Amino acid sequence: MFKSVIRLQSRLGGVITFCKVCPRHEPFRNAMKYSTASAERKRFYQDVSISQGEGGLYEVNLDRRKLKTPSGKLFTVPNEALAIAVATEWDAQKDSIKFYTMHLTTLCNTALDNPTQRSKEQMISAALKFLETDTICYRVDEPSGLVELQRNEWDPVLHWIESR
């Protein structure tokens, strides 16, 4: 971890402080495990596949090993499409695993491990604050081609969100 923190410091050009003793910083310490993970690692698997596990959840397999989250939990997702997308990210890695290129894997890991120990309500509130500023919520009046493009591409997404 020390090397990762140093690497992060040099990239950001600032000083990072990290409290190892203060118990009130426990959620921060868990989050640091995610943000300072090694950026690359040698690829150790040949084949990537998905399988349906207990409760209908889907799992990603690297060779015959089941993928785990950074905290050691079994990596599971609720539907096949997401499992295929995550498996595709892992399969796209060549000689080394570049974690910073695997956005869906990172997002799923965060959802499964909840490193900041937020409640469901806190996560929803944070997401809604972000969504208020999302470009999809702001439309143009002209040119007509862009108006039509926004309607065709964004309206289905908004309707899907509103129906959930």
**Cross-strand partners of 114:** none
The CATH code of domain 41-117 reads 3.30.2180.10
pLDDT in tens, 102-148: 999 999 999 999 999 999 899 889 888 888 888 888 889 999 999 99
Q: Which contacts (CB < 8 Å, 24+ apart) does range 75-81 have?
A: 75/108, 75/109, 75/112, 76/112, 77/108, 80/50, 80/52
Convert the pLDDT of each residue in 14-44 to its tens digit: 433 333 333 444 444 454 455 445 678 999 9
Q: Residue for token digits 């899907």? A: 160
Residue 80 backbone phi and psi in degrees, to 5: -65, -40
What is the pTM assigned to this prediction?
A: 0.60
Residue spans per domain, the chain = 1-36, 41-117, 119-164
